[in-house]
Structure 1
Amino acid sequence: MTAADAVTAVLLLAGAGFCAVGALGMLRFPDLLSRLHAATKPQTIGLLLVLAGLAPQADSVASSTPLLLVAVFQLITAPVTAQTIAGAAYRAGVVDPATLTLDETDRAT
């Protein structure tokens, strides 16, 4: 087993662990905003760890470039999607404003 194989094994296991914790949070958390948190943060970190684990196995920099692109797009789209879903749910009245620590929307006044 080479050093690259060891790094890959550790990163893949860590990424799978983060994804599993995020999935467990999706099942266990009580409300939409908590579930969105579980769907974005640990899943994003898990995917980044998996991609980092795949990078040492790539033959060249050119073959690992798509991994970098996937990571960048994940970092851009996950927070935007979560923010959009949370905003739509708030406007639809699904989110209870009393559960929020700070509410800076026009609806609170």
Structure 2
Amino acid sequence: MNAADVAVGLLVLVSAFLSMAAGIGIVRFPDVLTRLHAATKPQVFGLAAVLLAIVLRVPTWGVLTTVILIMTFQLLTQPMTAHMLGRSAYRTDHVRRDVLIEDELGRDIEEHAKD
């Protein structure tokens, strides 16, 4: 067992912990916005850790380019998906407005409703 094997094992454990944290956050958090936060942040970092483990285990150009493509698409789509889910939850009144620090979307909707 060399240092690369230890690093791969640690990265897989970190990824598993982050995925578990995301799952627990989805179940335990009280509203949609905090659940979205729990679902997106650890999930992306967990995927990055597992992809890095794959690159360390099989360091070829084909694997590296595939990992870069996977991570790029994940980083491009995950924030947009969370944003759209948050907006739709807000518009269908599934958001606890009493815990919002600043309600910018509500202010913008009211401004456009006046026009």
Q: Percent identity?
A: 39
With the length of structure 1 as denominator, give the TM-score of the two structures. 0.91
With the length of structure 2 as denominator, give the TM-score of the two structures. 0.87
Residue in structure 2 matched with residue 37 of structure 1 by the alignment: 37
Larger radius of gyration: 2
Residue in structure 1 matched with residue 61 of structure 2 by the alignment: 61
1:2 offset after TM fit, Å? 1.8
CA–CA separation in structure 2 for the residues paired with 1:54 and 1:100: 40
Aligned residues: 109
1:95 is paired with a residue of what secondary structure? Answer: coil
1:49 offset after TM fit, Å? 0.6
Residue in structure 2 matched with residue 14 of structure 1 by the alignment: 14
1:8 offset after TM fit, Å? 0.6
1:47 is paired with a residue of what secondary structure? Answer: helix
Matches within 5 A, 1:78-97: 78-97=78-97
Question: What is the CA deviation profile of residues 66-106 of structure 1, one whole-angstrom value per residue up to 9, with x for unaligned ones?
Answer: 11111111111111100000001111122132221111122
Unaligned 5+ segments in structure 1 are none
Aligned Cα RMSD in Å? 1.4
CA–CA separation in structure 1 for the residues paired with 2:19 and 2:5: 21
CA–CA separation in structure 1 for the residues paired with 2:84 and 2:97: 17
Residue in structure 2 matched with residue 70 of structure 1 by the alignment: 70
CA–CA separation in structure 2 for the residues paired with 1:89 and 1:96: 10
Unaligned 5+ segments in structure 2 are none
